Amino acid sequence: MTFDSPADPHVWDPRSHADPSLPPIDGLNGLKGCHCLISGVVQGVWYRVSLQEVAQSNGVAGWCRNMPDGRVEAFLVGPAGAIEAVLAWCRTGPEHARVAGVEVTAATDAWQLHDAPEPFEIRR
């Protein structure tokens, strides 16, 4: 994947090649979506605020929230390359996070877009 500038590796370059592993959501003009569960030390380290900034800078809609079991849950909708850029960031997170894993499930139904607010929001 090609990024916009070395100074900001989290900005999606539309010239990059998208990962086809996420299927397009039917009826949404090529938008893709996914549900993510991020595990590790991801709460209390500004993970959600940082994820919101990365998602918004890449034009990705959706939400994230802390879960009672210590994970962060997120739902992302946007162009394939933008989602892949956000997922790449999710695998490392902000400076003090220690990401152990990112479980990604593709969203395949158009109705799931209704649960993807724009701009990206933090839910409590």
The active-site residue, picked from 15, 29, 48, 65, is: 48
Q: Which candidate in 66, 71, 98, 123 is catalytic?
A: 66
Beta carbons of 33 and 111 less than 8 angstroms apart: no
> Would you call 123 a catalytic residue per the annotation?
no
- Active site (annotated) includes residue 58: no
Give one DSSP letter per residue of the chain, joined into a string: --EEETTEEEEE-TTSPPPTTSPBPTTSTT-EEEEEEEEEE-SSSSHHHHHHHHHHHTT-EEEEEE-TTS-EEEEEEE-HHHHHHHHHHHTT-STT-EEEEEEEEEE--GGGGGG--SS-EE--
Q: Which residues are catalytic?
A: 48, 66
